[in-house]
Every structure is written in C-alpha cells, then in structure tokens.
Amino acid sequence: MSKRNPRSYFAIDEGEDSIVYKVKNAFTGGRETAKLQRKLGGQPEICPIYELEVYFFTRDDEKLRRIYFDCKNGDILCGEHKDEILRRILVFRKDHLKRKRKKLNVAQRIIRGNHLYG
C-alpha cells in the first residue's frame, strides 16, 4: 500500500462508500476466473486483503491459518472474502466513530487545558 496513491489504502474514518469501493476493487492474490481459483487456489502471500486479516482484523492464529488454507485450497473466492471482511471493517469503523464522538469533549477539554476543572 502506498500513501502516494489514495486509492491504495483507506482510513478508518473516511466515508463508508469510499471504503466499500476501495475494498471491492482492491487487487488480490486471486486467479483470473472463479473456476481457475477453485482449481489452483489463491495466493494469500501476495494479497492485501489477507494482509488486512494478518495486521488488523484477525487476532486468532487458528482462524488466520484457516483463512490462509481456505484460500490456498480454493475453498473461498475473493468476492466472498472481500464481502466478509468488509462487514467486519464496517462494524469496527462504526464502533470506532461512536467511541471517538464520545471522547471528543474530553479531548477538547484537555487541549484547552481545563480538564482538571470539570
């Protein structure tokens, strides 16, 4: 992912439509056709969607291992995987923005330097 190309990454507080667009159009380690992917398996080792799993969205090593081999064995296709991770990204984003809104007043008070007085 390169910060020079804004389409190659997303920020968690950018618009939901933008995140959906970027994930749905992201490069993957998938094959040219679904038939070929079922036959040859995907390539998670070059896939940014799998990177999202590794670095941000799957803490459980066993689950990560399952995703890796489901991909390698051609048991999941990229469209399904993107839809599935998108659901988790959007739930995370919604929760993140809610927590951010709740803490905004506290942050503003700290910046103004009067957090000790109420």
Question: What residues line the site for ligand SF4 (CB under 6 A)?
Answer: 28-30, 42-44, 47, 49-50, 71, 76, 78, 81
Q: Which of 71, 74, 98, 101 is nearest to 85 (CA)?
A: 71
Report, in Å, the least distance between residue 80 CB and ligand SF4: 7
Burial annotation 82-114 (CB, 10 A radius, 16+ → b, else e): beebbeebeeebeeeeeeeeeeeeeeeeeeeee
**Nearest CA-CA partner of 67 in 82, 8, 91:** 82
CB of 85 to ligand SF4, least distance (A): 8
Q: Which is nearer to ligand SF4, 28 or 58 (CB)?
A: 28
Name which of 75 and 109 has its Cβ closer to ligand SF4: 75
**Rounded to the nearest whole angstrom, what is the least distance from the CB of residue 54 to ligand SF4 in the complex?**
10
